[in-house]
Structures are given as structure tokens and as C-alpha cells.
Amino acid sequence: MAATAAPTSTSVTDLALAAKAAARRLATVDSTTKNAALVAIADALEARAPEILAANAQDLAAGRESGLSDALMDRLRLDEARIRGIADGARAIAALPDPVGEVVDGGRLYNGLEVRKVRVPLGVIAVVYEARPNVTIDAAALCLKSGNAILLRGSSSATHSNAVLARIASEAAYGAGLPEGCLALVAGGGREELTELAQLEGIVDLMIPRGGEGLKKAISAVARVPVIYAAAGNCHVYVDAAADLAMAERIVVNAKVQRPGVCNAAETLLVHSAVAADFLPGALAALREQGVELRGDERVREIDPAVAPASESDWGEEYLALVLAVRVVDSYEEAIDHVNRYGTGHSEAIVTNDRTAARAFQLGIDAACIYVNASTRFTDGGEFGMGAEIGNSTQKLHARGPIGLRELCSTRYLVDGDGQVRG
């Protein structure tokens, strides 16, 4: 079987070749069968929750011994509620329209040819991810529903969790009629295994690394296959001069503390100087009550001397923890310049009742998701109605923002004629 709890004895290349063969068959599987497979996976996850939790407990114990941060431990941790959520995500994906075969564009040409541009699977997708075992199922469900075979490469911190999740998913998928080899876990090797996977030109059609800058650099140094980076999130909330300050405080606190160890959590707060004296005392107190460590520029510290001084490196930091950098700016233009200089192109928010400022922020910020009067925490495939996501792309080609079913497809032109030849 392609996914097992033990380290793989089959080579990475052999797993990928099996996935390639499976992908050709999977591309022709009907929607009903694919949907049934996802429901079977969801049912199996819930039925085998004790097995999953036992494996996860092993990873958590190892994580504590190795000194994993609180943010990484939170990403790693599974419980019954999270398992139900993962299963519900698979069911939600099953309920979505199948993108395969969807007509994107088309029409009749001058010469009578009928042209249709339709969505088709990419083929074999390799997903490399850190710490979060839920990605095992989210990524598998999205790839299988969109007709793609998937190679999963998780981190060593989630070895046991990923192995049991992949085993359960593959057994359920094969039992429901999907081709064997369409879901495989690449595990048991070191960095050389990742390099081999990233260099399988003509076999792996797309690689999606989901993790920090270290993972991105490691793959970009060796990759020969196409890559979409689900990149880091240095996200900002800007409180404009025309903001509803009560609303702004709710949004800032939510964006920072609701789940600080994720890529769509806010890492920097920017406040217009016209409202800084009114807004910051209450907002900073509310953040402190939630355990947030604050680092600010001199203008912030003039208002609240208890705030620690911010260094230049703080503006570009993805903390993934209860730490927030705070800065006072004199205009929305200055806020836009700051975000474009230090942001990672993930998710940015402005709180304002000034439509001119809001529009300038929307047009001026170079990011995948831009919010007006809402928390950055909504950048998520599930929240966007995609059922789940493989990650959030900050790139500009092919896919940007949450990577869902349609983003895992390419297109093909289908042309029907009745004997036309070109003169």
C-alpha cells in the first residue's frame, strides 16, 4: 500500500511513478465516486479517532521533549473536536461542485470550429508541510476531488499523526473505488528525500510547500518541478483616522489573539496619528489582558511607556506568537508604504469609514487578501467556502490566496470540427 505507518521502503521515485499512473485513471473518475471516497475518509476518521489520538499523543510527547514552541505545539495538537472538524472539512469538499470538466470559456470561431476551454486536473501534486497533521487530510481531499494524485511529505514532528491519517485516508479512498497509488505518504527519509521529490521533472506536476521561510528556501534551492509557495504571513491591521475605534479594537484583538500561531494572524498594528492618543491606551490594555507582548516605536511609547521599544527587525517578523509590533503613522499613504515594504503579501486589513482611504488601501497594497473593517483571520479556504485549503499562495501566477479545488486544476482546449483545414 502507498501509505504506511512505518518508514517507506519504496523509493520516492517509485511512489511518484505509481502516483503518475494513478493520476491518469483518477482524471476519468466520475464525481459520484470521488465524493463517496471523501465521505468514506471522513467517516473513517471519526470511527478511528482513538487510533489517531494515540498517534498524536506520541508526537506531542516528542514535541515537548524537543522544546517545540507553544505555537508549533498548538499546530501539532489534535483532539476529538479537531478530528471532527477535519472530517467535516472533507465532507464539505465532497459537497462542492466538481471543477473537473467545468467550461471556463468558449464559443464558435469564424470557421465553424467549436472551442471550449475546460478545467482538467494538474496530475501529481506533492504537498510538503510542517507540524500541522490536519493538512494530511485537507490536502488529500482537495487533490482527490480535483482529480489529482497526491504525494504527502509531512514534518518529523508529526510523524506518527501523519502516518495514521494517511493510512486511514488511503484505505478509505481505495475501498471507495479510487485507484491505488493516488494517495501516498513519503516518510522515513531525510533532506535527500525532499530533494529527490522536488527534482522529479515530468512526474510531479506541482509541488506546494506549506511552512516557514526555512522550508521555502530549502525547496527553492533544489526544485526542478513547478512550485507554488504557501508562504509566511507578516500581516498588518491599519487603524485609520476615520475608523470606528470600538470596531478597530475588536478587530485588532481578534486578528492577534484568536489563534496567534497561524499565518493569517496580525503581527503589526499601524495607527493613524490623529486617533493614536484615543485608541492606543484602550487597545493596548485589551491586548495585554490577552497576554500579548507589545513592541512599539517612539510615538507609541510616548503614549504608553510600558511598551517595549521595537527594533527594525520587528517590522518584518512573523512572530506566530502573542507578540505584536505597533507603529504610529501620519496617513494611509504611509501605512500603505509600510505594508508594502515589510509585508509578505498575505493578508492586510484597514479599519476605516472613509471610502477613499479604503479604496486606496485596496488598490495600493500588494497582497493576496485585503480586508476593509474585518479581521485578517478570515483568510482561509474553509471560511471562503472552499471546504478547506492546501495553503495560501502569495505568488501572482496561477494561484493567489487560498488554494482550493479550482486552483488545483489547469485548463485544456477542446475543439470540435466537421472537416476544417487551415489554408
For 297-423, where are the alpha helices, taking DSSP H only?
Answer: 298-303, 332-342, 355-364
Alpha-carbon distance 310 to 295, whole Å?
Answer: 5
- In the three-class reduction of DSSP (H, G, I as helix; E, B as strand; rest coil), residue 2 is classed as coil
Q: Is the pLDDT of residue 388 over 90?
A: no
Question: How far from 281 is each of 184, 244, 276, 278, CA to CA, in Å?
Answer: 52, 15, 8, 7
Q: Is the pLDDT of residue 295 over 90?
A: yes
Rounded to the nearest 5 degrees, what angle is found at the Cα of 391, between the Cα atoms of 71 and 27?
145
User: To 10 degrees, the CA torsion angle through 123, 137, 217, 62?
Assistant: -150
67-120 pLDDT per residue, tens: 998 878 988 999 999 999 999 999 999 999 999 999 999 999 999 999 999 999
All cell numbers assigned to 89: 472539512
Q: What is the pLDDT of residue 8?
A: 46
Question: What are the residues whose beta carbons fall under 8 Å from the beta carbon of 264, sequence distance 6 or more?
Answer: 233, 235, 346, 347, 376, 377, 378, 379, 380, 392
Q: What is the pLDDT of residue 189?
A: 67
Alpha-carbon distance 139 to 404, whole Å?
Answer: 9
Q: Which domains does the chain have, with CATH numbers?
A: 12-230+407-416 (3.40.605.10), 235-378 (3.40.309.10)
Q: Is the pLDDT of residue 7 over 80?
A: no
pTM (two decimals): 0.85
Helix axes 134-145, 31-47, angle to 10 degrees: 160
β-partners of residue 309 are 296
Of the pLDDT bands very low, low, confident and very high (cuts 50, 70, 90), residue 1 is very low
Q: E-assigned strands of 246-318?
A: 266-272, 293-296, 308-309
Beta-carbon count within 10 A of 50 CB = 10
Q: Give the pLDDT mean for 336-357.
A: 97
143-157 pLDDT per residue, tens: 999 999 999 999 899
133-144 pLDDT per residue, tens: 999 999 999 999
What is the tally of helices (H) and strands (E) in the chain? 14, 16
Question: For a pLDDT cut of 70, what percent of the chain falls above it?
Answer: 97
Q: Give the pLDDT mean for 300-307.
A: 98
Q: What is the pLDDT of residue 9?
A: 58
Q: Are 163 and 2 in contact (CB under 8 A)?
A: no
| Residue 293, Cβ density class (10 Å: 0-12 exposed, 13-18 middle, ≥19 buried) | middle
